[in-house]
A and B are shown apart, each in its own frame.
Chain A
Amino acid sequence: MTHRHTPVLVADGLTKRYGRVTAVADLSFTVRSGAVTGFFGPNGAGKTTALKMLVGLARPTAGRAFVNGTPVDSMIPDARVVGVYIEPCGAHPGRSGRAHLRTLATLAGLPRARVDEVLTIVGLDEAAGRRVGTYSMGMRQRLGLAAALLGDPQILVLDEPVNGLDPRGIAWLRTLLREQAALGRTVLLSSHVLSEAARTVDDVVVVDQGRVVHQGPLSDLEDRGESLELAYLNLTGGN
């Protein structure tokens, strides 16, 4: 299984400044295929900004991001390569979930049948005809995940995908992500729900104040007798 050590996503010295505020500072880490990588950090640590730079939504002030060895700034986004979910779900509240996904499928050149497939995968088929404005937070979350899965991508980048999901939804998502990793695909997710993440991820990247403070396999932490939560609290200065 050579793919297990191939870096698919690379952040190389990513820095993002908004005026005087540095949201991300010289952030470097890699994400391998065939694994679920957890991206953790306190509120305001720069996780979402870093994920946006990794997928090309935000331009780094310095540094570069690579997807499959290609610099993101010269890459054309493709739903078949990278599926992204970054809050909020990016659907107009006046349109139905199905209409939203159909538009994305049209833009991506994907068949309409794929929309019904992903609606079934995320468990939204019954609510697909309703306006997104009437959805609960968990349903919007599922819709965002459906959009990310639309192109059946090789790489999934998910920002706080567990937020708002009920226990059944969380279990479903865990299974889905583990299946993706088992297929040799790449999953990078951020989360604050460490107890759940500990059951899902293989690798761990922890950021604090815009910098990487730890990267490595979850098993390394476990071998040291530390839980993910305890390690996180130690690394980020919490107690």
Chain B
Amino acid sequence: MALLRGELGKTLGTRTFYAFLFGGAGFSLLNAVLVAEASGTLRVASQKAEALTTLPVLLMVWGLVGAAGEHRHRTAAPAALVAGRGRATVLLARLAAYAVTGFGLGAVMIGAALALGLPLLRDQPGPDLDVAQIRTVVLANLAACVLSAIMGAAIGALIRNQIVGVVVLLVFNFAVLPLISGAREGLANLTPFGASSILSGMTHDTTLSITAAGAVFAAWTTIVAGGALTSERRRDLA
């Protein structure tokens, strides 16, 4: 717990966290307005739920920037030198800290989306989202945010460079993913970005359920986090 508290203190003690907090909430509000007011008539639940989605990739960037920033600012070495635990355990605590902040940021984002989106959606035709549907949206988005923050932090720990890491994310999202999508329909859903999009409700796809998308994304997160933990034991700290 001391390691988790220490790592949480680091993540919450910078202005970066607040930038992502307000940026994430701002995105959720904007998305709610755009989807509920400016994207035409929304008749079915999945279309309406899109107004309540968060932006998991933002949480991935948050984790990446934070964890890679440990190497940019050379804060990783002092932490490893005092923690009284192995480096992999320290990184595990860091990933857990990003999971906690991912949950918190996700809760703020989904809260903002609900606060603005639900009243706006009442103007749309067809039945309103019921409690079970809203609960599914909330839980799925929280899961997407938590997993995204962990995956981002793991990628950051692997790449150790904020700019390179963000560029890799952008290239994957905007160049590789469309290629995969074009190569075979539905294949992109099995990538981390594709699965997180379905999980958060930004993408509607009948080939993969929300639960299956969550499982795919969790599997990718576990693989990347496992790679980061393994590599942390072997690599030098600056």
Which A residues are within 8 Å of any B CB, using their own CB? 52, 55-59, 76-79, 82, 84, 86, 88-95, 99, 102-104, 106-109, 147, 150-151
| B78 engages A104 (CB within 8 Å) | yes
B13 to A92, Cβ gap below 8 A?
yes
Task: Say whether B83 contacts A107, CB under 8 Å.
Answer: yes
- Assuming the contacts A76-B84, A93-B73, asked whether A99 and B79 have C-beta atoms less than 8 A apart, the reply is no
A57 in contact with B9 given A92-B73, A107-B3 (CB within 8 Å): no
**What is the distance, in angstroms, from B86's C-beta to the closest C-beta of chain A?**
6
> Roughly how many angstroms separate A78 CA and B84 CA in the complex, as a whole number?
5
With A and B bound together, what is the CA distance between A123 and B235 in angstroms? 35
Minimum distance in angstroms from A27 CB to a CB of chain B? 16
Is B183 among interface residues, defined by CB-CB distance under 8 A? no
> Residue A103 contacts which of B10, B69, B80, B81 (CB distance < 8 angstroms)?
B10
Instruction: Pick from B14, B73, B82: contact of A107, CB below 8 A.
Output: B82
Q: What is the CB-to-nearest-CB distance from A13 to chain B, in angstroms, rounded to a whole number?
A: 18
Let me know if B236 and A102 touch, CB within 8 A: no
Would you give the shortest CB distance from B33 to chain A, in whole angstroms?
Answer: 32
Known: A52-B236, A58-B237. A151 touches B82 (CB 8 A): yes
Interface string of B1-32 (1 = CB under 8 A from A): 01101110110011110000000000000000
Residues facing A in B183-234 (CB within 8 A) are: 234
Any A CB within 8 A of the CB of B41: no
Contact A57-B75, Cβ < 8 Å, known A52-B236, A76-B86, A106-B6: no
Q: Are B9 and A58 in contact (CB under 8 A)?
A: no
Across the interface, B13 reaches (CB within 8 A) one of A56, A103, A104, namely A103
Is A150 a contact partner of B82 (Cβ separation < 8 A)? yes
Most buried by A among B10, B15, B78: B78
CA distance A93 to B15 in the complex (A): 11
Complex Cα distance, B230 from A97, in Å, reads 32
Query: Does B77 touch A at the CB level, under 8 Å?
Result: yes
With A76-B85, A94-B14, A109-B84 known as contacts, the answer to whether A57 contacts B77 (CB < 8 A) is: yes
Q: Is the CB of A86 within 8 A of B6?
A: no
User: Is A59 in contact with B10, judged by CB distance below 8 angstroms?
Assistant: no
Cβ contact of A91, chosen from B5, B75, B80, B235, cutoff 8 A: B75
Query: 19 more A-B contacts (CB under 8 A) besides A57-B80, A77-B81?
Result: A57-B236, A57-B237, A57-B238, A59-B234, A59-B235, A77-B80, A90-B75, A91-B75, A91-B78, A92-B69, A93-B73, A104-B6, A104-B79, A107-B3, A107-B6, A107-B7, A107-B82, A107-B83, A108-B84
Q: How far is the CB of B112 from chain A (nearest CB, A)?
A: 25
Q: 5 nearest interchain CB pairs?
A: A107-B6, A90-B78, A79-B82, A106-B6, A108-B82
Can you report 15 residue pairs joining A to B where beta carbons are below 8 Å apart?
Answer: A58-B237, A59-B235, A76-B84, A76-B85, A79-B84, A84-B81, A86-B77, A92-B14, A93-B73, A94-B15, A95-B14, A102-B9, A106-B9, A107-B3, A107-B82
